[in-house]
Amino acid sequence: MAATRILLVDNGSLQPAATLQLRQLSAEVGRLLGETVHPVSVLHSHKIDHALLEGRPAIIFEQAVQQAKADGIDELIVLPLFIGPSRAITEFLPQVFAEASAGKMKLTIKPTLYGED
């Protein structure tokens, strides 16, 4: 059976409250799906002092890809917490994924709340 990992991805912030809220949303989405959903930011959040995040560091997308590769994950599924398809979703995430030499791991990015048309 192929191993997948689901990521709820936001843009990222230097504000601890944003990361804590992303974690709460990820937990709720995970409950609804019956799956573990990992809170991940595109950028920035990893710079927040861990002490302000209940002692757990924030994870950015590049780190999540590297960890998934190390864990033998076959597919990353991104649930974008974005209103529309920004370049962070359409260009940056695929570029970071490709640069991480993810091997045979597949990247699936689900649609944003508001589509391109």
62-76 pLDDT, tens digit each: 999 999 999 999 999
Rounded to whole angstroms, what are the CA distances from 67 to 36, 101, 113, 114, 116?
15, 12, 27, 30, 31
So what's the pLDDT on residue 86? 87
CA 81 to chain centroid, in Å, comes to 9
So what's the pLDDT on residue 41? 96
How high is the mean pLDDT of the chain?
92
3-state secondary structure of 103: coil
Write down the H helix ranges in the chain: 16-33, 61-70, 87, 93-99
In this prediction, residue 85 has a pLDDT band, given cuts at 50, 70 and 90, of confident
